[in-house]
């Protein structure tokens, strides 16, 4: 993909004039900026909110603006999961000191690449009068263009002045125009205007006394939701021309974005967040117990499930619920070893990463994403499988049902004395008979036990410690005898579709929908069912809804208060 930055313009006329203007602006006293900031927004507007962009969104913006050859070194600080979503947690975090150190290092690395010999010709639309001195006009041209894309709106004059001035003092300090420019660009990439998305508001002419996102905030809302990236030039133009504030104009942009191949990035981002695939990068397995397993297998496993999702939902325009039953998937050779099926690459070089479509036979116990390695291995400890962890994950991730935390001061005597067991089912039987444990374990274990045919690394097995595995189970009163049955039960459970709508709407908004938005969520539920549980159509409905861009008018009830103990820190421990 070409970067959004236009190639260098050779027009030099006016540079001298612009340089003069640039210097004059750059020398504005900082106190003037302060005063301007205080007066920038009418105090009558409701309070705006902000959320931090995710690591993936950061990457996407950088690649959109500067192209894929600019590399992001370093690591981002971990994000925060709230109410099941990192997208919701993004509304509660800023940057820790160590996190900021990392943002700063990544920003400087990107900026130095953008201005290096390899990239500057393509990225910077002008040449400085002298490489060893500031050139405010050239800096202004570059920073103005790039700032609009990074900040997702044109830089207000004084913001641009500040960054041109920063490039000036930077260039003076190091006696190098490009390094000075890089310092200013690096500062831009570490600024709150880039790292955080602010929901700036304006009065809503269609809602008496109400407010809506302003056009640029609307463009960002739309773009991050559908593409997991900042607005492109067309969307920014639509925001600036007023097109986005008309229903037809909005629908036009939504149609364009839904039809774009970039929708896949948006769909992937939602499912990575919703299915907690961010965790998969840190999953480890004991190599002595699971010799076929390694980090590459886990990366492939995650990609397998994402490909299954994208193929069914986007390419086949299929029913979301079929994700739990579909026999169709994609495999690499390495995954083929885990699934014990032959995968033959078709590329001449025989690359092991070649993805091949694969369909399990109708009577095969494997089918649906719950039986895929990404689910079974992620929700298992390093050395074995765990029906309880898998059951809990299914309840909480797929069905949006909260499993209560275990009580303190549990007497494990009974459970701990069940020493002679061969299978997890025998071991967990103790939970079913112990009243203190049974209440919660009965809503997790019978689900997870249906996946016992998959060991801790997701490989199919029929015995455990020499004893045959009984993979029967139950979900909300529906009984089944094998993993396929579990998939069908989830497919038919109304909670699966309801959960998807709740999560997708919270993901889009960056918060749990407020009570006043519940009628909108109810409409989304109906629309989802009426459209055959098609996710792209649900995304279109959300993206064209007024409620997606309106903020709570005065008096609108707040969303349910988020509790800290179980959300800011790791989820409460459960019995495995």
Partner 1 sequence: MTTTISRRRVLRGAMDGGAVCVALPFLDCFLSGNGTALAATGTPLPVAFGTWFQALGFTPGRWLPDTVGRDYQNKAELKVFDPFKARMNLISGSKYFLDGHPLATHITGQQIGMTGAIPTSLASAPSIDNLVADVIGTRTRFRSIEVSLDGSRRSVSIRAGSASRTPAEPSPAALYTRIFGPEFKDPNAADFTPDPAVMARKSVLSYVTDARKAFAANLGAADRARLDEYFTSVRQIEQQLDIELQKPAPMQWCLRAEGVTEATPGGVTTDVEINNRLFAKLLGHAVACDQTRIFNVLMQESQGGGGLRQAGSTESWHGWTHEEPLDDKIGYQLQVAWFVEWANKTFFDFLHELESIKEGPGTVLDRMVILWQTDHGNARTHTMDALPIITVGNGGGRFRTGLHISIPGDPTTRVGLTIQQALGVPVNSWGALSNQTSKTMTEILA
CB of 98 to partner 1, least distance (A): 5
Which residues from 328-387 bind partner 1, rule CB under 8 A? 379-384, 386
Nearer to partner 1, 13 or 409 (CB): 409
- Whether residue 164 contacts residue 25, with contact meaning beta carbons closer than 8 Å, is answered with yes
DSSP 40: S
- Whether residue 360 contacts residue 327, with contact meaning beta carbons closer than 8 Å, is answered with yes
* Greatest Cα-to-Cα distance within the chain, rounded to the nearest angstrom: 87
Among 9, 13, 209, 409, binds partner 1 (CB under 8 A): 409
Q: Name which of 123, 103, 99, 100 is nearest 113 in CA terms.
A: 123
Which residues from 449-478 bind partner 1, rule CB under 8 A? 456
DSSP 555: T
CB of 279 to partner 1, least distance (A): 9
Q: Name which of 313, 302, 231 is nearest 273 in CA terms.
A: 302
Buried b (16+ CB within 10 A) or exposed e, 94-110: ebeeebeebbbebbbbb
Nearer to partner 1, 65 or 457 (CB): 457
Which residues from 389-408 bind partner 1, rule CB under 8 A? 389, 405-408
Among 411, 442, 529, 530, binds partner 1 (CB under 8 A): 411
Two structure tokens written together for 507? 């993901």
Contact region for partner 1 (CB under 8 A) — 101-109, 265-273, 362-370, 513-521? 101-109
**CA angle in degrees (0–180, nearest 5) for 404-407-412:** 125
Among 9, 10, 97, 205, binds partner 1 (CB under 8 A): 97
Among 6, 14, 68, 192, binds partner 1 (CB under 8 A): 192
CB of 48 to partner 1, least distance (A): 5
**Among all chains, which residue has been given the structure tokens 């974005």?**
257
Cα torsion 428, 432, 436, 442 to 10°: value is 90
Nearer to partner 1, 45 or 337 (CB): 45
CA distance 18 to 135: 10
Among 92, 422, 472, 544, binds partner 1 (CB under 8 A): 92
Among 8, 21, 25, 50, binds partner 1 (CB under 8 A): 50
CB of 171 to partner 1, least distance (A): 8
CB of 394 to partner 1, least distance (A): 15
- Annotate each residue in 128-167 with x if it binds partner 1 (CB under 8 A) or - if it does not, as one string: ----------------------------x-xx--xx-xxx
CB of 301 to partner 1, least distance (A): 15
The site that binds partner 1 (CB under 8 A) totals a number of residues, namely 102
- Whether residue 220 contacts residue 508, with contact meaning beta carbons closer than 8 Å, is answered with no
Residue 435 engages partner 1 in binding (rule: CB under 8 A): no
Contact region for partner 1 (CB under 8 A) — 1-9, 54-62, 354-362, 414-422? 414-422
Which residues from 269-328 bind partner 1, rule CB under 8 A? 282-284, 286, 288-289
CB of 51 to partner 1, least distance (A): 10
Contact region for partner 1 (CB under 8 A) — 62-70, 88-96, 316-324, 549-557? 88-96
Q: CA distances (Å), 264 to each of 18, 251, 267, 301, 309, in order?
A: 42, 19, 5, 18, 10
CA distance 291 to 314: 35
Which residues from 196-215 bind partner 1, rule CB under 8 A? 196, 198, 200-201
Q: Please name the residues in contact with 460: beta carbons below 8 A apart, sequence gap of 6 or more.
A: 339, 340, 365, 366, 453, 454
- Annotate each residue in 526-565 with x if it binds partner 1 (CB under 8 A) or - if it does not, as one string: ------------------------------------x-xx
Nearer to partner 1, 192 or 350 (CB): 192
Nearer to partner 1, 21 or 174 (CB): 174
Nearer to partner 1, 173 or 519 (CB): 173
Among 21, 23, 25, 80, binds partner 1 (CB under 8 A): 80
CB of 326 to partner 1, least distance (A): 26
Among 1, 9, 10, 38, binds partner 1 (CB under 8 A): 38
Among 16, 291, 412, 557, binds partner 1 (CB under 8 A): 412
- Annotate each residue in 233-272 with x if it binds partner 1 (CB under 8 A) or - if it does not, as one string: ----------------------------------------
Two structure tokens written together for 61? 């913006």
- Whether residue 72 contacts residue 62, with contact meaning beta carbons closer than 8 Å, is answered with yes
CA distance 178 to 170: 9
Q: Name which of 499, 486, 558, 570 is nearest 533 in CA terms.
A: 499
Residue 2 zone, left/alpha/beta (φ > 0; ψ -120 to 50; rest): beta
In angstroms, how far is CA 142 from the centroid of its own chain?
30
- Whether residue 119 contacts residue 69, with contact meaning beta carbons closer than 8 Å, is answered with yes
**CA angle in degrees (0–180, nearest 5) for 293-299-301:** 75
């Amino acid at each position: 993909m070409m970067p959004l930055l236009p190639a260098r313009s050779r027009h030099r006329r006016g540079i001298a004039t612009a340089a003069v203007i640039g210097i004059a602006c750059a020398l504005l006293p900082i106190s003037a900026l302060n005063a301007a900031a205080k007066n920038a927004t009418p105090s009558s507007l409701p309070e705006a909110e902000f959320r931090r962009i995710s690591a993936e969104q950061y990457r996407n913006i950088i690649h959109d603006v500067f192209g894929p050859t600019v590399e992001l070194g370093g690591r981002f600080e971990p994000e925060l999961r709230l109410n099941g979503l990192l997208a919701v947690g993004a509304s509660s975090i800023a940057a820790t000191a160590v996190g900021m150190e990392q943002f700063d290092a990544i920003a400087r690395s990107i900026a130095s690449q953008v201005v290096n010999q390899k990239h500057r010709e393509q990225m910077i639309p002008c040449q400085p009068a002298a490489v060893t001195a500031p050139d405010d006009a050239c800096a202004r041209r570059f920073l103005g263009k790039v700032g609009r894309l990074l900040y997702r709106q044109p830089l207000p004059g004084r913001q641009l002045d500040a960054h041109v001035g920063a490039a000036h003092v930077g260039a003076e300090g190091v006696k190098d125009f490009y390094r000075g420019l890089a310092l200013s660009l690096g500062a831009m990439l570490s600024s709150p205007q880039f790292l955080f998305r602010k929901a700036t508001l304006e009065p809503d002419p269609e809602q008496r006394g109400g407010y809506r996102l302003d056009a640029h905030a609307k463009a960002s809302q739309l773009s991050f939701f559908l593409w997991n990236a900042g607005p492109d030039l067309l969307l920014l133009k639509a925001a600036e021309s007023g097109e986005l504030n008309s229903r037809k104009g909005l629908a036009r942009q939504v149609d364009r974005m839904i039809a774009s191949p970039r929708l896949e990035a948006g769909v992937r981002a939602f499912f990575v967040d919703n299915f907690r695939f961010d965790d998969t990068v840190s999953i480890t397995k004991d190599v002595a117990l699971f010799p076929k397993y390694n980090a590459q297998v886990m990366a492939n496993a995650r990609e397998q499930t994402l490909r299954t999702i994208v193929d069914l939902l986007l390419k086949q325009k299929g029913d979301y619920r079929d994700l739990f039953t579909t026999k169709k998937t994609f495999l690499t050779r390495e995954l083929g070893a885990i699934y014990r099926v032959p995968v033959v690459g078709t590329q001449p070089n025989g690359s092991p990463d070649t993805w091949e479509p694969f369909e399990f036979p109708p009577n095969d116990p494997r089918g649906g994403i719950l039986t895929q390695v990404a689910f079974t291995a992620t929700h298992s400890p390093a050395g074995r499988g765990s029906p309880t962890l898998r059951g809990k994950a299914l309840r909480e991730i797929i069905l949006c049902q909260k499993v209560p935390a275990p009580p303190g001061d549990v007497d494990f005597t009974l459970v701990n004395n069940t020493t002679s067991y061969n299978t997890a089912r025998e071991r967990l039987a103790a939970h079913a008979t112990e009243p203190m444990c049974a209440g919660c374990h009965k809503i997790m274990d019978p689900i997870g036990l249906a996946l016992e045919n998959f060991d801790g690394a997701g490989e199919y097995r029929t015995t455990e410690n020499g004893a045959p595995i009984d993979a029967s189970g139950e979900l909300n009163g529906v009984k089944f005898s094998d993993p396929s049955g579990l998939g069908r039960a989830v497919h038919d459970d109304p909670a699966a579709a309801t959960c998807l709508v709740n999560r997708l709407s919270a993901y889009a908004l960056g918060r749990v929908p407020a009570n006043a938005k519940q009628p909108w969520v109810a409409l989304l539920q109906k629309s989802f069912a009426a459209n055959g549980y098609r996710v792209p159509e649900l995304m279109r409905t959300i993206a064209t809804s007024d409620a997606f861009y309106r903020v709570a008018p005065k008096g609108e009830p707040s969303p349910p208060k988020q509790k800290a103990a179980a959300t800011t820190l790791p989820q409460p421990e459960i019995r495995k």
